[in-house]
Amino acid sequence: MAAALTVSWSALAAWPHWLIVLILLPLGGAVLTPALYALQRRLVPWWALLVAGLTALTVLPLLWRLAHEGPFSYLPGGWARPYGVELRFDEFAALLAAAVALLAPPVLLFSRRYAARAVPAGRLPFYYTLLLLNLGGLLGLAITADLFNLFVFLEVVSLSAYALVAVGGRPVAELAAFKYLLMGAISSLLILLAVGILFALTGSLNMADVAQRLPALATPAALTLAAAALLVGFMLKAALFPLHNWLPEAHASAPGAVSAVLSGLVVKAGIIGLVRTYQLFAGVELLDTANLGAILVWLGAASVVMGSFFAVFQHDLKLMLAYSTITNIGYIVMGWALASPQAMLGASLHLFNHALIKTTLFLAAGALIYRTGLRTLEELRGIGRTMPLNCAALALGALAIVGVPPTAGFVGKWFIALGALQAGRPFFALVVVFGALLAAVYYVRIINAFYFREPEQKAVVTAREVPWSMLAPVLLLALLCLGIGLLARLPVEFLEPAVARLLDGRS
Amino acid sequence: MLPEMLLELRPNLDYAAVVVLFCIGLYAVIVKNNLIKKLLGLNIMETAVFAFIVTSGMVEGGAPPVLGPGVMPPLASPLPHALILTGIVVALATTALALALIIRIYLQHGTIEADQLRELD
């Protein structure tokens, strides 16, 4: 029985077209959403959930094949590389794809009741269309092996994200969306410029091909410009300090389910971009990648400290969570730039775990705002008594993001700290600890306000738990925050060879 | 001093123009107070990048892959043009979305001057 099951799994995974289905499903589903709204508007949330669920299922055979065969490619139309477009599923693509697959269905289930209130009725079809486009773009961005497609998918993600910030129609949100758009468009242009320079230098757009051709070039100025443009572009997308200004307002003023996707997944697009940049330039001797790494380590450390520092002084729950995203992006970038095997492993783990935890936190916060309409800690005090399950999920997420063992947030930070020691730079291990302490300060403030203060607002006293279709995804994700920390061995063993390959420069 | 620099730039005059254009656009995005002017600055930057990629398609002494040997230069690689066609579509979408947001901002706050909007916060 087990053997038969294994055989049929591998037969399923051997079907070559899963990789393109992975993008076409959400993008196609997104395009059809407004049409469905015109026919049967009540079905739209279920439709979006169905598309997200099927997309999530599509990731399974891909992961199976990756685990058994290692990274593999798909050539749409059968054009040989480097002439045609290539899709490639490697461990880092798998990381982002798995995060999208895991988080998309709960977010869309949560959205059904939540968006009905948070989004004006006429905009509901656009809400679901944009959300599916965004998720499809993220998946495309993860698996593309082509520089120009990287830009195109990045734009799909970014444009849908700008619109999603404004879709709720709060007065602050539209201004925040415009600022986000301005910053995002500048970073996209820098990335396009770099793609253009790399194409002019090598005559190729395939990333692996470009990476092979770059070391032979003798044009340091052009190479530096391309690397710098890519770096700054993706840093802006990832909101690394000091390019973080657009993030807090945009993430805090968006509807809760959107904040979850933006903070959990969309900023990771910038991280994946940085990984791809590293893969491109790893073999180039004209460029001192160690120097780039040194800059990124410090910027990452600054992000960790400054993000927490700003968060401590916030009163708005969602603004706190948004600043905490800057901190965690700092951890991930710092881990990557330390370039020791364990630090990179930790950064990769934290990329996934932070997506999970931050989605939990934003969904739980969204549920509180859904019931009470209140946003600041002062107003929300005592809410732990009237919405105990939801607040328990939020508290669990808070513990996880502070990094209390054995939660999900602990594993990544632990490996980053170990990696800092391994790289011979104990100072950055201290930064990890210091960041966790600062995070504890403001997350304890949240827990204190919710559980140990008397409620004052009428809306808090009369609040009830949110409906099950909203509570269930929040609780499920909160339990996963706990569970994934206990099951950390599996992803560690999965990622170790990938990190080793990356450090050897044969990606 | 200056003419010598210009002479050095001559073979890459197109790239120099692109850099100047890019900087003008970036200046407008950062310095201008009116949101529409910021957006126009963004469009100028976009044009600069597009122009750069299109000009990089000119290859001196290049040979056409499809047409016969009788074709006379100058020849241009069609791939950058195809890329930039996509790029223009993306830029169009960005501009449309930004204009829509500006209209909403104006309807809600009654102004699109960045400093006045900052005071409203």
Residue of A nearest to B47 (CA): A189
Give me the percent of chain A exceeding a pLDDT of 90: 29
The domains found in chain B, sorted by start residue, are 2-58+77-120 (1.10.287.3510)
pTM confidence score: 0.91
Task: Say how many CB pairs under 8 Å bridge A and B.
Answer: 73
C-alpha to C-alpha distance for A426 and A411, rounded to whole angstroms = 18
| Residue A178: closest CA among A259, A246, A256, A251 | A246
At what angle are helices A124-143 and A267-281 packed, to 10 degrees?
A: 20
Distance, in angstroms, between A350 CA and closest chain B CA? 32
Is the Cβ of B76 closer than 8 Å to some Cβ of chain A? no
Confidence of residue A341 (pLDDT cuts 50, 70, 90): confident
In this predicted model, what pLDDT tens digit does every residue of A174-204 receive, in sequence order? 888 999 999 999 999 999 999 999 988 888 8
C-alpha to C-alpha distance for A486 and A23, rounded to whole angstroms = 31
Interface test with B, best of A150, A182, A230 (most B CBs within 10 A): A182
Is a pLDDT exceeding 80 seen at residue A168? yes
The C-alpha angle B59, B64, B67, rounded to 5 degrees, equals: 155
Is a pLDDT exceeding 50 seen at residue A506? no
Distance, in angstroms, between B116 CA and closest chain A CA? 12
User: What average pLDDT does range A55-72 have in this prediction?
Assistant: 87
Most confident region among A8-22, A377-391, B95-109 by mean pLDDT:
B95-109
Is the Cβ of B115 closer than 8 Å to some Cβ of chain A? no
Contacts of B104 in chain A (CB under 8 A): 166, 174
3-state SS, A95-134, equals HHHHHHHHHHHHHHHHHHHHHHHHCCHHHHHHHHHHHHHH
C-alpha to C-alpha distance for A243 and A233, rounded to whole angstroms = 10
Task: Count other C-beta atoms under 10 Å from residue A43's C-beta.
Answer: 12
Cross-chain CB nearest to A186 (options B29, B52, B83) = B29
Q: Are A279 and A507 in contact (CB under 8 A)?
A: yes
Distance, in angstroms, between A174 CA and closest chain B CA? 6
Contacts of A196 in chain B (CB under 8 A): 49, 52-53, 56, 80
| Residue A345: closest CA among A268, A422, A440 | A422
The pLDDT of residue A326: 92
In the three-class reduction of DSSP (H, G, I as helix; E, B as strand; rest coil), residue A186 is classed as helix
Contacts of B52 in chain A (CB under 8 A): 193, 196
Is the Cβ of B105 closer than 8 Å to some Cβ of chain A? yes
Q: Which residue has the higher pLDDT, B7 or A242?
A: A242
Is the Cβ of B35 closer than 8 Å to some Cβ of chain A? yes
CA distances for A89 relative to A18, A64, A95, B9, B60, angstroms: 11, 11, 10, 43, 37
Is a pLDDT exceeding 60 seen at residue A2? no
Contacts of A152 in chain B (CB under 8 A): 86, 90
In this predicted model, what pLDDT tens digit does every residue of A267-293 receive, in sequence order? 999 999 988 888 888 777 777 767 777
DSSP state of A286: S
Residue of A nearest to B28 (CA): A182
Q: Which residue has the higher pLDDT, B102 or A483?
A: B102
Q: Are A303 and A333 in contact (CB under 8 A)?
A: yes
Interface test with A, best of B9, B23, B27, B53 (most A CBs within 10 A): B53
Is a pLDDT exceeding 90 seen at residue B43? yes
Bond from prior residue into A82 cis (ω within 30 degrees of 0): yes
- Cβ within 8 Å, pair A178-B93: no
SS3 content of chain A, % helix, strand, coil (to 5): 80, 0, 15
Enumerate chain A positions whose Cβ falls within 8 A of a Cβ in B. Answer: 148, 151-152, 155, 159, 162-163, 166, 171-172, 174-175, 177-178, 181-182, 185-186, 188-189, 192-193, 195-196, 199-200
The pLDDT of residue A117: 84
The pLDDT of residue A507: 43
Cross-chain CB nearest to B56 (options A163, A192, A196) = A196
Bond from prior residue into A405 cis (ω within 30 degrees of 0): no
Q: Are A420 and A426 in contact (CB under 8 A)?
A: yes
- Cβ within 8 Å, pair B86-A185: no
The C-alpha angle A281, A500, A81, rounded to 5 degrees, equals: 50
- Which residues make beta-bridge pairs with B14? none
Contacts of B97 in chain A (CB under 8 A): 159, 162-163, 181
Is the Cβ of B109 closer than 8 Å to some Cβ of chain A? yes
In this predicted model, what pLDDT tens digit does every residue of A67-108 receive, in sequence order? 888 888 888 888 887 788 888 888 889 989 999 999 999 999
Is a pLDDT exceeding 60 seen at residue A1? no
Distance, in angstroms, between B31 CA and closest chain A CA? 13
C-alpha to C-alpha distance for A420 and A401, rounded to whole angstroms = 20
Reported ipTM: 0.90
Quickly tell me which residue has 């470009």 as its tokens.
A210
| Residue A193: closest CA among B58, B54, B32, B60 | B54
Is the Cβ of B108 closer than 8 Å to some Cβ of chain A? yes
Q: Which two tokens stand for residue A145?
A: 């092996």
DSSP state of A388: H
Q: Are A271 and A144 in contact (CB under 8 A)?
A: no
Is the Cβ of B81 closer than 8 Å to some Cβ of chain A? no
A389 burial type by CB count under 10 A (0-12 exposed, 13-18 middle, 19+ buried): middle
The pLDDT of residue A412: 86
Confidence of residue A140 (pLDDT cuts 50, 70, 90): very high
- Cβ within 8 Å, pair A175-B109: yes
Q: Are A405 and A491 in contact (CB under 8 A)?
A: no
Cross-chain CB nearest to B98 (options A152, A178, A192) = A178
The pLDDT of residue A363: 92
Cross-chain CB nearest to A166 (options B101, B117, B121) = B101
Contacts of A195 in chain B (CB under 8 A): 53
In this predicted model, what pLDDT tens digit does every residue of A462-503 receive, in sequence order? 777 778 888 899 999 999 888 887 887 778 888 887 888 877
At what angle are helices A220-238 and A171-202 packed, to 10 degrees?
A: 160
DSSP state of A245: T
Cβ contacts of A248 within 8 Å, gap of 6 or more: A310, A319, A322, A323, A326
Confidence of residue A24 (pLDDT cuts 50, 70, 90): very high
